[in-house]
Structure 1
Amino acid sequence: MNLSNLSFFYGESVYVDAMGTIIFRQEGHKFDGSLLHDFDLIILIVHEQEDKPLIVEHTMAGELRCQVLHVNLGSLRRWLVAGEKGDLVKCFMEGEIVHDPYARLAQLRQDFIEFRQPLRDRKMLYEFSHFLWMYVEAKRYIQEGFYTDAYHSVLNSLKHWAKIELIEQKVLPEKAVWEQVRGLNTAIHKLYEELTQSTETLAQRVELVMLACEFSVMSKMAECTVLLLNILRSRPKPWSVEELVHHPELDMISNKLPLVLRTLVNRSLVRETAVWSEGASYGNQGIRYSAE
């Protein structure tokens, strides 16, 4: 079966609920331990349905071995923002779009290539939330005297900080982040070298970098959380944390959102309000969040 026939088969005649299909041909492939790489064709079928799980099918098209992957659009967007599922993202970015009646996949691909808004703000918030998570984890380890564990948490937080600096320069972070920032002459690479190569004690290195994190990235908090702040400003009624956790623009940081919110409150960037709910007893006021 040639590719044009395959394009028709997977693009139009089957899976009528699919919003688009991409076919990625692997030239001269050989098995290297990655399941995706043991097939001649990877067929990525994107569905609108948000609760549709990742479904895998193995098929033959003539003499070609095919792996058919059904993904939902929300998951695909999350992988693009988070930099996860690199093999699947490669298929999405480099494969042939064979079915895209409303050009939504083509638009998403172009937005990613050009690193347009709102993708940059989503990516910035994602990286900041992960930076903050690792930063707080490192502080806890330091308080308990576990400097080796704190070192690894700080190293991870620096990687997210490096990605933030790349995003500020409208550069899409890639896997080899430290190679990307090496030539930018930014403070982050110097801190990375200080943490990993300095002759000072482990505790001294960790605490020095933690201070730098506190004074540098924390000062960029408003810039890093523009997406969240704009959502909080989007209506006059304050938001509950439950509403925010389930907001479609914030789903990629839902488990870290409470920490981000409380940090923004402590920095006076977000205002909290106690609200009485009907039938609530004393001490059971709900907290709502808003931003000016």
Structure 2
Amino acid sequence: MEDLLRPIYQERASMQSTLGVLLIEKRLHATSITDTFDYILFIVTKNEDDGLYIKHYTYKQQKAALHIVPETQLQEWLLLGSNRKVIDWLQNGKIVFDRNEYLSNLKTEIQEFPFYGRKIKIGMEFAKLIRRYMDGKSFFENGHYLDAYNHVVHSLHHLARLEVIEQGFHPEITVWNQVKHMEPEIFKLYEELVNSEEPLEKRLELLFLASEFLIYSRTFLGAQHLLEIMADKEGAWSINDLMQHPELHYYSVDLSVLLEYLIDKNIVSVNEEQTKGNDICHRYYLL
């Protein structure tokens, strides 16, 4: 089928806006990587007006999918980690067209994982971790154990991804396989949560005690990106100033929860300024 797909990607390769073309073949025991398709044609374009475009093909018993992705969308996926299959595609896909070594350089960048990109990803992952942990704890304290369990599983997943990023790697779809070798303590917590025969309430209680220390021990690492940005400005920040910062807007709604956590740990302080209303104050944040 690869020969049949060649005219499709050659047509795209002839366009000046096309930066590169990858061919990804389905691997045994990893069909989810290609969404069960036998082949993926992944085309990166510098034309932002194109938008994300997907097309499916069939030849006899085989299936193929064409993905045309603007460079800006690809960079966002890589930064936010919101499409982890793409990391696998870039690492393991076969380059069939590469304008000015765009894809080759991207592969190298992913392997080296520059520290600047790591710092932002660590910050976003830590903010998600705090959000899930705090929400899970609230559900637990109110007796909603199944909802607490759901949030705790997600918080452990973010903790695992945080560990992988700290070690200088991109989190893969099989992130627990990575963490098992990098940080056995986190892997053991996850195993105890999902495999233990203890009552759910008891499992959650023990896990909250254990994970609180693990989270706190990573606080300065996880908050480093935010704290460095706050230190760049003399004086206090409003929440809107922080949300509008070009690097912090990726944190989205998790930023407020992260700030409250840092206030609770005496890392960030609150300044209050009187408004025109009686006894109502503006809140501002500073280190």
The TM-score normalised by the length of structure 2 is 0.77
Question: Which structure 2 residues correspond to residues 1-292 of structure 1 after superposition, within 5 A?
Answer: 9-11=11-13, 13-15=15-17, 20-24=19-23, 26=25, 38=37, 42-47=41-46, 49=48, 53-56=51-54, 67-73=66-72, 75-93=73-91, 94-96=93-95, 98-101=97-100, 106-184=104-182, 186-275=184-273, 281-282=276-277, 285-291=281-287
In the alignment, is the contact (CA less than 8 A) between 2:21 and 2:96 conserved in 1? yes
CA distance in 2, matches of 1:27, 1:184: 28
In structure 2, runs of 5+ residues without a counterpart are 58-62
DSSP 3-state at the match of 1:287: strand
CA distance in 1, matches of 2:282, 2:47: 34
Give a deviation string over 1:28-71, Cα, whole Å, max 9, x none.
99xx899866586624224475x974344679xxxx97724133
The Cα of 1:221 is off from its aligned counterpart by 0.7
The Cα of 1:256 is off from its aligned counterpart by 0.9
CA distance in 2, matches of 1:167, 1:233: 24
In the alignment, is the contact (CA less than 8 A) between 2:26 and 2:36 conserved in 1? no
The Cα of 1:25 is off from its aligned counterpart by 5.3
Give a deviation string over 1:3-34, Cα, whole Å, max 9, x none.
9987775346343xx6x3333254899xx899
CA distance in 2, matches of 1:65, 1:165: 35
CA shift in 2, pair 1:133/1:281, >3 Å: same
The TM-score normalised by the length of structure 1 is 0.76
Give a deviation string over 1:234-281, Cα, whole Å, max 9, x none.
2325333223223332343212111111211222222333357xxx62
DSSP 3-state at the match of 1:69: strand
Q: Give the number of equivalent residue pairs.
A: 277
In the alignment, is the contact (CA less than 8 A) between 2:85 and 2:173 conserved in 1? no
Give the structure with the larger helix fraction: 2
DSSP 3-state at the match of 2:134: helix
CA shift in 2, pair 1:275/1:10, >3 Å: farther
In the alignment, is the contact (CA less than 8 A) between 1:44 and 1:91 conserved in 2? no
Amino acid at match of 1:281: K
The Cα of 1:151 is off from its aligned counterpart by 1.8
CA shift in 2, pair 1:188/1:274, >3 Å: same
DSSP 3-state at the match of 2:170: coil
In structure 1, runs of 5+ residues without a counterpart are none
Matched residues, percent identical?
Answer: 26
The Cα of 1:80 is off from its aligned counterpart by 2.4
CA distance in 1, matches of 2:180, 2:66: 38
Aligned-residue CA RMSD (Å): 3.7
Give a deviation string over 1:200-255, Cα, whole Å, max 9, x none.
32111101110112222123211111111111112325333223223332343212
Amino acid at match of 1:163: R
CA shift in 2, pair 1:206/1:11, >3 Å: same
Deviates further, 147-156 or 193-202? 193-202
DSSP 3-state at the match of 1:217: helix
CA distance in 2, matches of 1:235, 1:46: 37
DSSP 3-state at the match of 1:225: helix
Deviates further, 256-265 or 88-97? 88-97
CA distance in 2, matches of 1:70, 1:258: 32
DSSP 3-state at the match of 1:172: coil
Amino acid at match of 2:44: I
